Amino acid sequence: MANKLKIKKGDLVQVIAGARQSRGGDRGKQGKVLAVYPERNRVLVEGINRVIKHKKATQTQAGGTAGGRETHEAPIHVSNVALVDPKDNKPTRVGYREETVERDGRNKTVRVRVSRRTGEEI
């Protein structure tokens, strides 16, 4: 069974754990979430946790060879990132607030994600 995560695809997140940038790590960097893997509790963040993959040289259609080293983003555990508050660009926790919205003459209750830091809607 997959877990419900509070971070969604397209959110801006900041790395809050790991090695500091001065030591070659990603802590403090911000990036956009490219994919969410709730079954493994991991998220793929743009520009974060980059790894080098070696690709075997193969023949191409034009007759050249393509191979070498390629860098890709690797998934990072969701506990190591925090959502960035849109108001002050600092990491925050996520909460939910229920609001009643009128649609087609009927009142409907919807859950809205809010920043715990400022109370702003995300």
Give the model confidence (pLDDT) of 39-67 as tens digits. 999 999 999 999 999 998 888 777 777 78
Which pLDDT value is given to residue 1? 60
Q: Which of 54-68, 72-86, 106-120 has the lowest mean pLDDT?
A: 54-68
Q: What is the architecture of the domain spanning 1-83?
A: Roll (2.30)
The SS3 call for residue 108 is strand
pTM across the whole model: 0.82
| Mean pLDDT value of segment 8-13 | 96
Query: pLDDT band at 92, cuts 50/70/90?
Result: very high
* CB-based burial, 61-77: b 16+ in 10 Å, e otherwise: eeeeeeeeeeeebebbe
Domain ranges of the chain: 1-83, 86-121
